Amino acid sequence: MKVVMVLQSLLNVMKKEMSQTLRDRRMLATLIVSPVLQLVVFGYAIDLDVDRIPTVVCDQDMTPRSRDLTQAFFADRTFLRQSDVPDPSQAQDALETGRAAAALIVPYGFALRVARADAPAVQVIVDGTDVTLAQVGSNAASQFLLLQGIGHDESVRTGAAAASLVPRVMYNQRLKSAVYMLPGVLATLLLNVTAIVTAMGLARERETGTLEQILVTPIRPAVLLAGKCVPYILFGLIDVLAILLLGNLVFDVPFRGSFGVVALGSFLYLFSTLGIGILIATLSSSQQQAMLGAFAFMLPAMLLSGFMSPISSMPAWLRPFTMLIPMRHYIEIMRGCLLKGAGIRDLAQQMIALTLLGIGILAISVARFRRRLT
Amino acid sequence: MAVAHKEVLHIIRDARAVYMALGLPVVMLMLFGYGISQDVDRIPMSVVDQDRTPASRRMSEALVAGGDFVREPDLASPDDAETALRSGRVKAVLLVPRGFERDLARGVPAAAQLLVDGSDGTTATVALGDAAGILQATSSERAVRASLSAGPRVRVRFNPTMRSTYNMVSGVIVLILAMVASLLSSLTIAREWEQGSMEQLFATPVSRSQIIVGKLIPYTGLGFVQTLLVITVGSYMFGVPIRGSLVTLFGCSMLFLLAMLGTGLIASVIAKSQLVAVQFALMTSYMPVAMISGFMFPIANMPKWLQAISMVVPGRYYLTTLRGVLLKGNGIDVLARDAITLAGFASALLVIAVWRFRRRLA
């Protein structure tokens, strides 16, 4: 009898939350349309494969030899020839103003030195303010110059014949950024939708005093929270579906694993992000605080999740903390399942971690929620 | 002025919010400075050595020696490699086939294989580059000597060691300002609507634009303090250079702040509830600043239509001026175009905010 009553009130809270959300068109757009829209627009932005670096050329030599060199420099499209200037100082200007991000300078007497088999002094200058671009640009330029460096050519070739390492990229052969970034984007969007919305939603109920009204009814706090969470888990799962579908259609993100693993992983992840939302709500007394609190968690979490930079490159003292970030486990699950076709057994560790985190966060937040009431 | 005073009181009374607004940028900076870097190293790698000869050991040791790879427990067979990669325990596996040393001795090209996990593309790209470089270096001493004697011919300007902290400081300033200015301001007007105090404000002789200006002033101040904080922490703790003039820097920061406040206010005027206002501001100002301002992903790489969209993201111009002033020492003469664009955005957005605000009342 008691169980029936609990279920009944759970259902009622869910119904109320659902109809409240569905009635507000803007809210619905926030929950479903905006994450999907953001994925599509920003998915195109996510391209760490740097190419077409705008480059200014200063060819002072003006010989067939130097022209060959400059043409070869742009052959593989890592650099894009943007303009030619007669004077090196103008090349500097272009870098300073940001019109170009790299400069290729071929000094007077280049052809002459090549003919004499002197080391020719070609210079490539790369703008270091954008690190990604600078790394790719300077690597490509070094490699190019090493290969072009007349006279060194031979030693490189004899060396390479001795032992070779054949690289093989697994799972994402063409190393397309959108493919491996999608899980991270998905995790961020879900966190954004669920944690902020629950944190602010609960804070609003407190602000307007409706929370106190509900609490005088015989509904128990845990049931109330559960009833508030379940609809958002549903919305979150709809988001996951829509984003994966679009990711597949628009960005060719594969789906190699099983549907069940994705569903279970997403469910566990949403569980923990909602817990975070509730926890933040119990810590704040206004919507403004709740919003700031959600951000104070989200931004560092994003950095520590391995979304942008690999966890293995972080210092040893920082790595244990990343275990506490639900996003980290979710990204590993999604990368594993979508790209590598990993099954539940391969990902057991991450699933367990996510479950424990979810239970832990929710337990703390429910306890805090109760305490605030008394 | 009274409105500004009231808003300042609101902010100050809410001490926790102020701490968070000021603490968050410092935490972000610390994480970037001490923990997170875009420089990839210590890639976990397992070895499947089927050859078990001095030559094969040299190969695996060469990869680990530079610190780019870290050796995880060896695997028995190539089949295990697949499992290890799939579960994510390692990001790379070196496979040395049987007969590797024999082939080398005979002068036959001997090939080992490096499997790289492409699902983490950042790591994969670096791993491929590092492995190729290391191998070239060890297999041909002559080539290395030759390339060293020729001297450095590729020069990275403005940030010679390519330290990502430098880059990140400007990024953190942009992100934090965008967040505080647009998100916090989007809450203010929506809050007055929600609580019904807006109607009360209207009953007073305060004019509409006075309300808007009054709401702007405190948040501009808060943003200013944050900029100062991030730049101070960045230059004292992480040695980020300030090569240009601080006046230019703060002038541009001011313009950017106003533009972001404008978007926040527009969101706030359009949406009735704080929750929707925040999400709206997030979508129209914060996310574009994070994603398509050129902070994380190079703009030159984006498709043409997205580059066109990025033209209307104020963060793009602000980032250029920030990097210009901090790292390149550019003066206002070089940055004039970006500064004027920012000013244009700021005034246009604020005008729209006031105009929409008026229309709502009629």
| SS3 per-residue string spanning A76-100 | CCCEEEEEECCCHHHHHHHHHHCCC
CA-based nearest distance A3→chain B, Å: 34
B279 CB-near residues (< 8 Å, 6+ apart): A30, A34, A196, A197
Across the interface, do B131 and A167 touch by the CB < 8 Å criterion?
yes
- Domains present along chain A, CATH in parentheses: 2-46+175-373 (no CATH), 53-153 (3.40.1710.10)
Distance, in Å, from the CA atom of A202 to the CA atom of B201, rounded to the nearest integer, reads: 27
B228 has a pLDDT exceeding 90: no
Strand, helix or coil for residue B156: strand
Reply yes or no on whether the pLDDT at A161 is more than 60.
no
Evaluate if residue B253 carries a pLDDT over 60: yes
Which range among A101-105, B91-95, B299-303 shows the weakest confidence by mean pLDDT? Answer: B299-303
Tens digit of pLDDT for each residue in B306-347? 888 888 888 888 888 888 888 777 777 778 888 888 899 888
Average pLDDT, chain A: 78
Give the residue from B20, B176, B297 with the most A CB atoms within 10 Å of its CB, the best one to mutate: B297
- Note whether B20 contacts A123, CB cutoff 8 Å: no
What's the pLDDT at A269?
A: 93
Place of tokens 């609507």: B193
Q: Evaluate whether A101 touches A129 at the Cβ level (below 8 Å).
A: no
Phi, psi at B44, each rounded to 5° = -65, 125
pLDDT band at A357 (very low <50, low <70, confident <90, very high): very high
Residues B104, A349: C-beta atoms closer than 8 Å:
no
B183–A47 C-beta distance less than 8 A: no
Each residue's pLDDT tens digit, A216-247 = 777 777 777 888 788 888 888 888 888 888 88
pLDDT band at A356 (very low <50, low <70, confident <90, very high): very high
Counting Cβ atoms within 10 Å, is residue B151 exposed (0-12), middle (13-18) or buried (19+)?
exposed
Give CA separation, B164 vs A114, A248, A267, B171, B351, in Å: 37, 32, 35, 10, 37
Closest to B300 (Cβ–Cβ): which among A30, A54, A315? A54
Average of per-residue pLDDT across B223-251: 81
- State the smallest CA–CA distance between residue B28 and chain A in angstroms: 6
Q: Is the pLDDT of residue B61 over 50?
A: yes
Q: Which residue has the higher pLDDT, A354 or A209?
A: A354
B115-147 pLDDT per residue, tens: 877 777 667 777 776 776 666 555 544 343 333
CB atoms A296 and B24 under 8 Å: yes
Pick the residue from chain B with its C-alpha nearest to A199. B275
| Residue spans of alpha helices (H) in B88-207 | 100-106, 121-139, 141-149, 164-178, 185-195, 197-203
Round to whole Å and give the CA distance between B46 and A293: 41
CA B344 to chain CA centroid, nearest Å:
25
B75-109 burial, b at 16+ Cβ within 10 Å, e below that, comes to beeeeebeebbbbbebbbbbbbbeebbebbeeeee
Distance, in Å, from the CA atom of B131 to the CA atom of B68, rounded to the nearest integer, reads 9
Residue type, A217: T
pLDDT at B149: 34
Give CA–CA dist B316/B319, Å, rounded: 5
Q: What is the pLDDT of residues A77-129, one digit of tens each?
A: 778 888 888 888 888 778 777 778 888 888 888 888 777 766 667 778 877 76
- State residue A158's pLDDT score: 36
pLDDT, greater one: B1 or B263: B263
Q: In this complex, is the C-beta atom of A201 within 8 Å of any C-beta atom belonging to chain B? A: yes
To the nearest whole Å, the CA of B70 is away from the closest chain A CA by 9
Residue A71 pLDDT exceeds 70: yes
pLDDT of B32 higher than 80: no
* CA–CA dist B220, B284 (Å, integer): 19
Sequence-distant (6+) residues with CB within 8 A of B291 are A42, A45, A46, B297
**Distance between CA B69 and CA B55 in Å, rounded?**
18
Which residues contact residue B337 at a Cβ distance below 8 angstroms, ignoring those fewer than 6 apart? none
Chain B residues in contact with A165 by the CB 8 A cut-off are 59, 111-114, 131-132, 135
CA dist., res. B239 & res. A78, Å (int): 31
Among partner residues B23, B43, B139, which is closest to A163 by beta-carbon distance? Answer: B139
| Interchain contact, B36 vs A26, CB within 8 Å | no
The answer to which of A49-53, B62-66, B96-100 has the lowest mean pLDDT is: A49-53
Question: Which residues 275-294 of A are in CB contact (within 8 Å) with B?
Answer: 284, 286-289, 291-293
CA atoms within 13 A on the CB side of B70: 14
Are B21 and A349 an interchain contact pair (Cβ–Cβ within 8 Å)?
no
Asked if residues B328 and B203 have their Cβ atoms less than 8 Å apart, the reply is no
Count of other CB atoms within 10 angstroms of residue A208 = 12
- pLDDT at residue number A355: 92
pLDDT level of residue B159 (50, 70, 90 thresholds): low
Domains of chain B and any CATH numbers? 2-36+162-361 (no CATH), 43-149 (3.40.1710.10)
- Do residue B28 and residue A347 have CB atoms under 8 angstroms apart? no
Q: Is the pLDDT of residue A6 over 80?
A: no
The residues facing B114 across adjacent strands are A167, B94
Chain B residues with CB-CB distance to A166 below 8 A: 111-114
d(CA B345, CA A305): 34
**B287: chain A residues, CB-CB within 8 Å:** 38, 42
Q: What is the pLDDT of residues A172-197, one digit of tens each?
A: 655 666 777 788 888 888 888 788 88
